[in-house]
Structure 1
Amino acid sequence: MEAIQASTVMNLLAEQYTPKCLRAVILPEEGSPKVFNVNKWSSATGLANSNDIFPDQTANFHRTKLIVSALQYRPLVDYEVVEGSRVVIPKPSIDINTLDAIAYKLNFTYDIVMPADGLWGVLKNDGHWTGIMGDVQFGRANFSLALALTQERANSLDPTKMYIMDALSFITAKSPLSAPWQKLITPFQLKVWVCVVVSVCCGVLLYHVVCHIQATISPRLLDSQAFMNIVASFLSQSLYDYLWLSAGRVFLGFWFLYAFLVTTHYKTSLTSNLAVPFIPPPLDTLQQLLGSNLKYGVIDIKGSIHHLFSTSHIPLYQRLWRDMHFHSDENSMRMVVEGTYSYISYRTSLVIQMLMHNSNPRRKTDLYVATKEFFPTGFVWYLPKDAPYLKNFNAVIWRFVEGGLSNKWLRDLHDVYVKEYLDQKSSQEQEDTAVEKDTRLVVFTLNHLQGAFFLFFIGHGCGLLLLFLELLLAPHTSSP
C-alpha cells in the first residue's frame, strides 16, 4: 500500500510540475492525495512567502511544563528547599538565569526537582545511572542542570555545549598561629639553637682552660665565675672579675662580639614576632596535603570527583583515595573552619565558600583555596539521547558564553553571597569588627608575654628544688 501511495504521489507531482513553483502533496485520511501550491519563486522577488516551509517543532513548546533534575551547587545552581517536596524554589544563579532565558525563548515552563536518592549519578554495572543522570535516562526529567562533562556520561546522554570551565582544588584553614610561649624559641631554627648551645658549652670549657693555664701568673677565676662570665655576655651584663692577660682578653673580646650578634638577631626577631605574628605558609599542592596532618575528602553525593579518585590509575590520586573521607558540604566546611580538614571540590564553588566564611575579619580562622589546580573540566547540561531540542538549547547557551554573561553573573553572585552572609550577623558584631579593623596600636597582653612568665615560674621552681636538695644533703656534707 505504501509503495502504491508513493508512486501515486510522484505521478501527481510529475503531472502538475511547473517551473519556479513549490508544491506539496496532502495525504488525507480519506480520499485521494491532493497537490497544492506552497510557495512561488521569481528571479526578481525571490520566494513570495518568507515563512519557514518546514518549521522546527521544538522551537516552541507552547507553554509545556518540563521537569529539570538538579542539586544545589553554588554558584551554578541555587534553590530553596520546600519541606516535604522534591520540587524546589529556584534562586538567582548561573544555571537558573540561563534556564529562564531558554524557557522564555522556547516558550516552556519548568519545575526543578531534586533526585530521589540525592546523588549526582553513578553508573551501575547494568549500564543504568543513579541520581540526576538516572532521572534523565529513565524519563523522570527532561534534562539536567550543572554536571561535569565526562566520557561515561556523554556515552549515555547528550551534553550541551560547555558554558563554564573549572578545575579541582582544595580549601583549608590557614596554618594556625603558634602559641605565644613558643615565640621564645621560634626566632631560631632548631639547628641554630643546637649550634648556640654547643658554642656556649665550648666557650665555657675554653674559658676554663685559659683560666687554668694562666692561674700561675694571674689570679685564678673559679669555675662558676667562668660559667657566669660566658652566660652574662648573652644577657648584656658587666663582668666584675675577668682575665687581665692578653690571651684571656682576646678570647673574651671575640666572644662578646659573637654574643652581641646572636642576641641582637634574637631580640629583633622576637620583637617582630610579638608585634606581627608570623603565619606559616598555607598548603598549595596535593603532595603538601598528603604530607600534612589534615584529614581530607570530597562531598558525599557521588559524582565526577568521586569517580575520578575511585577509578584513577595515577599513583597520587590512588594514595589520596585510600584515606578519602566523605561528608556533606555543610559538615565539610565546618571541619575546614575548625582547622582539621581539607575539602576537595571545584575551585569556583570553593571560592564562594571562602568568601562567605572569610567576610568577617573577627573570625579566628581564615580560609585559603590552593592555587595549584588539577583535573580541569567543563560543565554542561545533559539531555536524553538524540533529543531534538538540543540544538535550540545550545544556541541560547552559546550566545551567553560569547557575550560573557556567565562570567558577569559569577562576579555578581560573589557580592550576593557575601552580603547574604553579613546579613546574618548582628549589627553590634559588625560595629565591633569595624572598630577592631581600624585599630593600629598593638597592645601587649598576658597572652603575648606568657613565655616570660613561664620562664619566671620555671626558674623559681628550679631554684626552690635545688634549695630543698641542698638542705637534705647539708648534714652529710663536710664543711670546708
Structure 2
Amino acid sequence: MLDHHIEFKFDGVSEVSVPWGVGVLKVVASGQDVNVTHAQLSRVVGQAGFIKKSSRSITVVVVSDDPAFLAVFAEWSFKGHLQVWSTRFLVLTRLPLKCLLHLRSTLAKTNSMLIIINHEPSPKCSVFVELPYSSGDSQPQTVAWWTPSRGLAPTFLLPLFPDKFYRLAMGPRLLVAHVPNSVFKTKVVHDPDAPGGRRVVILSPVATLLETVSEAMNFTYDYVTPADRAWGVEQPDGSWTGMTGMSVREEVDISLGLFTITAARAKVVDFTFPVDIMNNRMIVGRGKPEVNPWSFLQPLDVSPVRTWWVWERVLLGVWMLTTVVLTRSYTGNLVSLLAVRYIPMPIQSLRDVVDNPITFLVQKGSSQADTIQTAESGVFRDINNLQKEGRFQTFDASEVTKNLDVKVRRGDHTLIHVDDVTKMMMAQDFSVTGKCDFYLAREEFLTAMGAMAGPKDSPLINAVSRRIITVREAGIYDHWTNSYTPNMTTCLNPPTTMAVRSSISLSNIWGTLVVYVAGLAISFHVFCFELIYSHLREYGNIRKIHRYIKDAKVLPQSYGNMGLGPKHDGLQYDFATGMLHRRTYRKTVIAEREMFILLWLIGLSFRKIAKRMRTSATTVRRTSSGDEVPRSHQIVLGPHTPW
C-alpha cells in the first residue's frame, strides 16, 4: 500500500489520484487506431512501473475481454519490468481458457492468478493458477471458486498466489549453460531421462551446489556449452557473448559458474545470492635453487625493533660483552648457510609482471580479461600494453591445466585466476608430482562477489537464491571448497630455501671476497688521501711562516739557524702569541679508551666526553702543552721584532 498521495498526468488519460494506495489506469481501445492503443498502453505500463518503485509491493489487476489487449499488455509489462516476482498479477476476464493460450507462458512465470467469470447457468468465478514449466496439454490448477451464495471456496490444493518456484511441481528438465574447465574433473553417470541415457557430472563445489539445489527444488538439467566457450563480455553493438549472452537471449534457464557481479552484467541478467567473495591472484612457477653469495650477512640480520637510543646502546654493550659467543655462533651459522640454496620468487604483484620479462595469461571472455583490456589508466593499462611486446595472451577455459603444466611451470609465464581455483590447481599438481612447483603472488586484486546468473526478471533465480542462502548460512559450501581437493593447503606457503650436500666453491663465497677487496680499495684510497692532505697542510703552514718571517724582516742567517727549511720537522707557529712551538704527540692508553666507551654507552656524546675530560676521544692526539722552542729560536712578529 502507498503511504503518500501520488498523481499521474499523461496525454489520453485523465488525471488519476491515488490517495489510499489504489491507482486506476484506463486505456480506451474501441474506436481507436491500434498504434494509438499501443502508445497509450506503453505509457500506462510506465506509470505502473513508477507505482512499483514507490511501493514495497503492488498488485496489478488487469480487466479485459479482448485477447489482443491481454497479449499486448503481457508484452509491454515484460518490457517495463513489471513481471517480477514481487508484483502480483490478477487477470479478470470472461474469456474461456481456450482463448487464453497465448497468456499461459506469462501466467506461468509470474506471481499471478487468472479469474474467469461465467454467468451460465448461474454467476460463478473460477480462480486458476498456471504452474511453471507445464506441458501444452495440461490445464491450469484450480485454487478456488466464488459464488454469490457460498462466497470464496478454496480447493486447498494450492493457496492463493502460491510460491510456485519454491518447489517445482512439474519436475521440469532445465538447460544450464556451462563452460568446461580443465581444472574440474568430470564423470559420466547413468540417467535414463538424459539424452543417450548418460549424464555428465562436474566435480566442483559450484556444480555440487547446483545439484543440491536441483534436488531441493525438484528439477533436473542438461548442460549446454556456448560456441565461443566464454563467460561473456559486451560487444560494441550491445550484444553479449558466451554464457551471459545465452542468458540474455533466454536460451538457458541458469548459467553455472561464479560470475563476477559487474554493473554491466547486472543490467542484462539477474544474479543469485552471492555464493562467494572472490579474489584474483597470480600463480607463478617456482625457480630453480640458486646460491646466494651474500648469505654471510644473514647471521647478522636479527631485525631488532627500534625503540630508543638508550636501548640500542645497551644492546651494543651486551653484544660487546658476548663477542666471543657471537663469533662462534656466526661461524656455525655461516657454514650452515653456505650449504643452503635459495628459490627465487620475484613475481609478487602486477607491477612485477610489467617490470620483469614474463608473459601474462588470462582466460578469454572473462571479466578479468575485459577489465584489463578496457582499462584506461593504472597498472591494468600497463598490463594491456604488454600485447605490443607479445607478453599478454588469452586462453580457453579447457586449456587451463595445459598452460599451467607447460608454460607456467617453465617460469616465463604467469596465470591469473580466482583464488580458490589457483589453490585447486596447485593441489592437483602436488597430488600428481609430489612437489610444490608453483607459488601464489602476495597481491590480491579485482575482489568481487561471485554468483550464478539467469535471464532478467526470472523467478527461478529468486527461488535458487533462497536455497543458496540456506547452504551458505549452514557453512556447507565452505566445507565443500576446503575438502573437495586433497592437499589444498600443502603448497600455500612453500619453503624458500633448500639444504644441499656439496663442497663450498667460489660461487658460495665470492660475495665475501667482493667485500674484502672493496674494503682494501677504500682503505688504500683513504690512506693516499691522508698522505696528500698532510703534505699539503704542512706545505701551507711553511708558506705562512715564510711570509710572516719575510714581513718581520728576519735575517737570513737567523732564519737558517731556526731550522725552518722546506723540510722542517716538529714546529708549529702560534698566531695568537707569535711564537713557534715544537709539536709532541703521544698515544692514548687502554684505560682511557675503555672510559670513553663506557661514558658513551651511558648516553654521553663524544663532544660532552671531550669537554668534561679536557681531552679528545681520538686514539692519537697532541699534548695539552707542547714543548716550546728555545728562546734563541723564538720569533715574535710585529713592528718591533726583537732578536
TM-score in same-fold range (> 0.5): yes
CA RMSD of aligned residues (A): 4.4
The offset of 1:356, in angstroms, is 1.9
1:101 paired with 2:172, answer: no
Identify the residue that residue 63 of structure 1 maps to in structure 2: 171
1:34 matched to 2:146? The reply is: no
**Which residue pairs with 1:276 in the alignment?**
340
Post-superposition CA distance 1:212-254 (Å, at most 9, x none): xxxxxxxxxxxxxxxxxxxxxxxxxxxxxxxxxxxxxxxxxxx
Question: Are residue 344 (structure 1) and residue 446 (structure 2) matched?
Answer: no
* Higher helix proportion: 1
Q: Check whether the contact 2:401–2:425 (CA below 8 A) recurs between aligned residues.
A: no
Q: Distance in 2 between matches of 1:74 and 1:163?
A: 21
Structure 2: distance between partners of 1:8 and 1:367: 68
Higher relative contact order (CA 8 A, sep 6+): 1
CA gap of 1:412–1:451, structure 2 versus 1, over 3 A, is same
The correspondence of residues 103-122 of structure 1 with structure 2, limited to 5 A, is: 103-122=214-233
The yes-or-no answer on 1:307 pairing with 2:418 is: no
Aligned-partner Cα distance in 2 for 1:311–1:7: 51
State the AA in 2 paired with 1:399: T
Partners of 1:174 and 1:368 within 8 A in 2: yes
**By how many angstroms is 1:103 displaced?**
1.4
Alignment CA distance shift 1:416-1:360 (3 Å): closer
Alpha-carbon shift at residue 408 of structure 1 (Å): 0.7
Question: Structure 1 residues 60 and 336, CA, compared in 2 at 3 Å: closer, same or farther?
Answer: same
Whole-angstrom distance in 1 between the partners of 2:125 and 2:501 = 98
Closer/same/farther in 2, CA of residues 70 and 50 from structure 1, 3 Å limit: closer
Q: Is the 8 A contact 1:66 1:142 kept in 2?
A: yes
2:415 is the alignment partner of 1:356? no
Paired with 1:296 and 1:53, the residues of 2 have a C-alpha distance of 57
Distance 1:90 1:404, change over 3 A: same
Change in 2 beyond 3 A, CA 1:407/1:268: same
Q: Taking structure 1 as reference, are residues 31 and 454 closer, same or farther at Cα in structure 2, changes over 3 Å only?
A: same
Spell out the pairing of 1:363-374 with structure 2 (5 A cutoff). 363=435, 366-374=437-445
Report the CA distance between 1:7 and its aligned residue.
Answer: 10
Once residues 387 and 30 of structure 1 are traced to their aligned partners in structure 2, the CA distance between those partners, rounded to angstroms, is: 38
Q: 1:150 aligns with which of 256, 259, 262?
A: 262
Distance (Å, rounded) in 2 between the aligned partners of 1:326 and 1:374 = 18
User: What residue number does 1:171 align with?
Assistant: 283
Deviation at 1:162, TM superposition (A): 0.5
SS at match of 2:459: coil
Question: Would the aligned equivalents of 1:25 and 1:35 in 2 still touch at CA under 8 Å?
Answer: yes
- Whole-Å separation in 1 of the counterparts to 2:169 and 2:255: 18
Q: Give 1:26 shift.
A: 4.1
2:501 counterpart of 1:444:
yes
Flag the 1:352–1:388 CA change in 2: closer, same or farther, 3 A. Answer: same
Give the Cα separation in 1 of the matches to 2:371 and 2:458: 28
Letter in 1 for 2:419: R
Determine the C-alpha separation between the residues in 1 that align with 2:121 and 2:489: 70
The 3 A distance-change label for structure 1 pair 347 and 378 is same
* Whole-angstrom distance in 2 between the partners of 1:116 and 1:368: 33
Given that residues 149 and 380 in structure 1 are in contact (C-alpha distance below 8 angstroms), is that contact kept between their aligned partners in structure 2? yes
Unmatched runs of 5 consecutive residues or more in structure 2: 1-29, 31-62, 67-90, 95-113, 127-143, 148-153, 190-195, 298-323, 387-391, 491-497, 511-643
**Cα 1:29/1:389, change in 2 over 3 Å:** farther
Higher gyration radius (CA): 2
Among candidates 160, 166, 172, match of residue 53 of structure 1:
160
Shift of the alpha carbon at 1:289? 3.0
2:359 match: 295
Counterpart mapping for 1:412-423 below 5 A: 412-415=483-486
AA paired with 1:169?
A: R
Q: Letter of the 1:55 partner, please give it.
A: P
> Residues 280 and 444 of structure 2 are in contact (CA less than 8 Å); yes or no, is this contact kept in structure 1?
yes
Matched, 1:130 2:241: yes
**1:66 alignment partner AA:** L
Give the letter for the 2:168 counterpart: N
Q: Contact 1:120–1:303 at 8 Å: present in 2 too?
A: yes
| Pairing 1:378–2:490 present | no
* Larger displacement relative to structure 2 (288-297 or 302-311): 288-297
Give the conservation status (yes or no) of the 8 Å contact 1:60–1:107.
yes
Extract unaligned runs of 5+ from structure 1: 10-23, 41-46, 190-259, 420-440, 456-480
Question: C-alpha deviations, 1:172-219, integer Å up to 9, x for none?
Answer: 1234322xxx56x44468xxxxxxxxxxxxxxxxxxxxxxxxxxxxxx
CA separation of 1:374 and 1:355: change in aligned 2, threshold 3 A: same
**After superposition, what is the alpha-carbon deviation per residue over 1:320-340, rounded to whole angstroms, capped at 9, x for unaligned?**
111122233123312222222
C-alpha separation in 2, matches of 1:279 and 1:374: 25
The alpha carbon displacement at 1:33 in A equals 4.8
Instruction: Provide the rounded CA distance (Å) in 2 between the counterparts of 1:293 and 1:92.
Output: 36
1:285 aligns with 2:369: no
Task: Provide the C-alpha distance between the structure 2 equivalents of 1:377 and 1:160, rounded to a whole number of angstroms.
Answer: 14
One-letter code aligned to 2:171: R
Q: Distance between the aligned counterparts of 2:119 and 2:226, measured in 1?
A: 44
Give me the identity figure in percent. Answer: 23
Cα deviations across residues 280-337 of structure 1 (Å, max 9, x unaligned)? 45532222333233222212x3110111101123311100111122233123312222
Matched letter for residue 277 of structure 1: R
TM-score normalised over the length of structure 2: 0.45
* Distance change >3 Å, CA 118–CA 54, structure 1 → 2: same
Contact 2:296 2:334 in 1 (8 A): no
- Output aligned runs, 1:226-245, within 5 Å: none
Pairwise CA distance, 1:118: 1.2
Residues 376-405 of structure 1: CA deviation (Å, up to 9, x unaligned): 111111111111222211110111111111
The 1:416–1:51 alpha-carbon spacing in structure 2 relative to 1, beyond 3 Å, is farther
Residue 429 of structure 2 aligns to a residue in which SS? helix
How does the TM-score come out when normalised to structure 1? 0.59
Amino acid at match of 2:164: Q
Q: Does 1:389 align with 2:460?
A: yes
Q: 1:398 aligns with which of 469, 478, 489?
A: 469
**Structure number with higher strand proportion:** 2
**2 CA distance for matches of 1:7 and 1:331?**
60
1:8–1:453 distance in 2 versus 1, CA, 3 Å? closer
Q: Partner of 1:277: helix, strand, or coil?
A: strand
Superposed displacement of residue 346, structure 1: 1.2
Determine which of 394, 406, 409 is the counterpart of 1:326.
394
Q: Is the 8 A contact 2:252 2:454 kept in 1?
A: no
**Residues 25 and 279 of structure 1: is their aligned pair in 2 closer, same or farther, counting only changes over 3 Å?**
closer
- Distance, in Å, in 2 between the alignment partners of 1:29 and 1:371 is 75
1:435-459 C-alpha deviation (Å, 9 max, x unpaired): xxxxxx97735xx55658999xxxx
- One-letter identity of the residue aligned with 1:389: L
CA contact (8 A) 1:72 1:79 kept: no
1:265-284 per-position Cα deviation (integer Å, ceiling 9, x unaligned):
99767632443323345532
Q: Decide whether the 8 Å contact of 1:137 with 1:156 is kept in 2.
A: yes
CA contact (8 A) 1:356 1:418 kept: no
**Following the alignment from structure 2 to structure 1, what is the Cα–Cα distance between the partners of residues 372 and 251?**
29
Alpha-carbon distance between aligned partners in 1 of 2:443 and 2:499, rounded to the nearest angstrom: 35
Number of aligned positions between the proteins: 335
1:132 Cα offset (Å):
0.9
Decide whether aligned partners of structure 1 residues 94 and 290 sit closer, same or farther in structure 2, where only a CA change above 3 A counts: same
The aligned residue for residue 247 of structure 1 is none
User: Contact 1:175–1:282 (CA<8 Å) still a contact in 2?
Assistant: no
